[in-house]
Structure 1
Amino acid sequence: TLFVPMTGKSEDQRKILPDPLHPKILNSGFEEDTDNDGHADHWHHQRLVTLLNEGAAAGKQCVLFENPDPGRLAQGLQATAIDGTKIGSLQLSLQYKIEGSKAGSETHEQPALVIHFYDENRRKFEDTVIGPWIGTTDGWRTANKTITVPPKTREMIVRIGLNGGTGKLWLDDIQMTPKPR
């Protein structure tokens, strides 16, 4: 499971505590790599992704997902708390560009940003997709979408990448603004 509750010393040392009334995407512009490991901080389960120091849409860095094999994951994940009884929608925007991107063999295998919603028991019950982005673009494009937050939502995961699709996907400057119910 992705969610492992923190207790004791680990919880006490957390610098940023989750705030379900103010959900946010950390390092949304991929500018932070404090340990210099070549991976954007705060993004987990990163697969087939490169942190680029040039060609960003905003700031100095962006990420590039590359995958030649249908069904293979090229992704990054980030989880956050969110109170669906108080937050009614999320306004999302991001910068993307693609080169030769295609969907995989399964319907969920497509270049996109996906929000997975979880209930109080940490069971996934709904997904929302921004994308898919198929083909090739002539440079950076902007994607905007307002998504409804189901009232029983308590946590969510933001998944970015090719997600089983193939080709190349660059992402940058992901913005998320919560709107009250």
Structure 2
Amino acid sequence: MPLGRLLLITVSLVASTGLASAQHDRADWDRQRARMVEAAIIEAGVTNQRVVSAMRATRRHEFVPLAQRRLAYQDMALPIGASQTISPPFVVAYMTEQLDPQPTDKVLEIGTGSGYQAAVLSPLVADVYTIEIVPSLGKRAAKTLSRLDYDNVHARVGDGYQGWPEAAPFDKIIVTCSPENPPPKLVEQLAEGGRMVIPLGERFQQNLCLMRKVNGELEREPLRATLFVPMTGAAEERREVLPDPERPAIVNGSFDEIADDEMEEPLPAGWHYLRQAEIDAKARPDDPAIAFKNDEPGLPSQALQGFPIDGRRVKRLRVGFAAKGEGIRFGQQASQWPYVVVSYYDERRVWLGDEVIGPLRGSFDWIERSEELPVPASAREAGLRIGLLGAVGKLWLDDVRIAPAGG
């Protein structure tokens, strides 16, 4: 066979193999995204069909760094560099639904991050203006959005605390980082009758709020507890409440405090990313507890809370809780059992690893557990995750507490 023809056949085979591989990869991403939307978006309560369609169409893996891409369609926050994260898909869908995007809307987003939230909004509104304070993230997000042809998204680098005055007023504003209070410039730039969805509060204790502008003033509706990275720049300079990383603690570990009487659901204060969880006021005599119930193996049933911790000062952490179980079996995988999990992160919010207590199995009356867990020296933040975590059955937890060992 002539060498030229052999080379041509070889090149054609390589090209065909590459095309087939790319098609397989895309089909796999599509399947993962479809499963994620069904389990983490629809099952979790998002009903706006336009929002659901946008979540189905938006390729989250394109906005996730290569090192994290295998986790792109898990309902979890992922680090994207510069101590920032891409929000969990449910949070993105829920905030978008609360924003009530309309085809004629001009929307301002504060905190571009990876560009994923702007991409979800793009097909739902007329224009998206998005600001990122970290230059490296802002430039990378702008390139990603341009490469994927999100032509109605306008991105720039700047301090979102100041808004985008030359493009104001905005019909809707969405803030994907947390200040203690709504920035005054954003209030000014929100159109009369407009909506703002924003996480407000302390560094590790925040509420996602829906703000409506009526007669020039904001009316606040609390939605649910949440946990976002802080708004940096001018907002961080004005922050008044700073947690103590040498005295880590859990808020409302007894579950007797409701987040807000005006909230759409009676959820426990201080806990976020709740799935298939509710307050059981009669779980113990005169003592409420949180109850997790799941009938479908693998579905999330959980609650989380973040807290600061300095691994240079706190070497070990004592974690305790009371628990009761009913018919608890593992989920889709043998590793899916109820645990009490402490996840550690460094100053860049890179995951350092987990320490666990458990698993909890079968049926049992109330028991007490308490253990000491090691803390990595480079840990600066941590998250406590409780629940069935993919297992099936019913689990009650109460009196959840953490403290420096010996303190």
Name the TM-score, length of structure 1 as normaliser: 0.89
Counterpart residue type for residue 76 of structure 1: A
Change (3 A) 1:61 1:13: farther
CA drift of 1:120 comes to 1.3
* Deviates most, 75-84 or 3-12: 3-12
Residue in structure 1 matched with residue 395 of structure 2 by the alignment: 169
- Mapped partners of 2:239, 2:348: distance in 1: 25
CA contact (8 A) 2:340 2:357 kept: yes
User: Does the 8 Å contact 1:122/1:155 carry over to 2?
Assistant: yes
What SS does structure 2 have at the residue aligned with 1:55? strand
Given the alignment of the two structures, is residue 83 of structure 1 paired with residue 306 of structure 2, yes or no? no
Contact 2:372 2:405 in 1 (8 A): no
Counterpart position of 1:23: 248
Higher RCO structure, 1 or 2 (CA under 8 Å, sep 6+) = 1
- 1:129 matched residue in structure 2: 356
Q: CA 1:164–1:179 in structure 2 vs 1: closer, same or farther (change >3 Å)?
A: same
Moved over 3 A (4+): 6-14
Which protein shows a greater Rg?
Answer: 2
| 1:67 corresponds to | 294
User: Which one has the bigger strand percentage?
Assistant: 1
The alpha carbon displacement at 1:18 in A equals: 1.8
Q: Which residue of 2 aligns with 1:106?
A: 333
Query: Any stretches of 5+ residues in structure 2 without a counterpart?
Result: 1-76, 78-226
More helix per residue: 1 or 2?
A: 2
Q: Using the alignment, how far apart are the partners of 1:129 and 1:108 within structure 2?
A: 12
How far 1:40 sits from its partner (Å)? Answer: 0.5
Q: Deviations over 1:78-102 (max 9, x none)?
A: 0111000100111111100000111
Hey, what does 2:342 align to over in structure 1? 115
Q: Could you say what secondary structure the match of 2:403 adopts?
A: strand
- Where structure 1 has 5 or more consecutive residues not aligned to the other structure, the ranges are none
Letter in 2 for 1:110: W
Conservation of the 8 A alpha-carbon contact between 1:56 and 1:172: no
Return the offset for 1:55: 2.3
SS at match of 1:87: coil
1:34 to partner: Cα distance: 4.0
Q: Identity rate of aligned residues, in percent?
A: 37
Contact between 2:259 and 2:267, CA under 8 Å: does it hold in 1?
A: no
Alignment of 1:32-71 (within 5 A): 32-36=257-261, 37-56=265-284, 60-71=287-298
For residues 91-141 of structure 1, what are the alpha-carbon distances to aligned partners after superposition, in whole Å with 9 as ceiling and x for unaligned? 11110000011122335421111111111110112101111101000x200
SS at match of 2:319: strand
2:373 counterpart of 1:147: yes
The alignment covers a number of residue pairs equal to 177
User: Which amino acid counterpart does residue 247 of structure 2 have in structure 1?
Assistant: H
The alpha-carbon deviation at position 38 of structure 1 amounts to: 1.4
Match of residue 157, structure 1, among 380, 383, 395: 383
Is 76-85 or 3-12 further displaced after alignment? Answer: 3-12
In the TM superposition, what is the alpha-carbon distance from 1:3 to its structure 2 partner?
A: 4.2
Shift of residue 60 of structure 1?
2.4
For residue 6 of structure 1, report the CA deviation from its aligned partner. 3.4
**Against the structure 1 CA distance between its residues 179 and 143, is the aligned structure 2 distance closer, same or farther, given a 3 Å change threshold?**
closer
CA RMSD, Structure 1 to Structure 2 (Å): 2.0
Which deviates the most, 2-11 or 61-70? 2-11
SS at match of 1:84: coil
Kept after mapping to 2: 8 A contact 1:30/1:62: yes
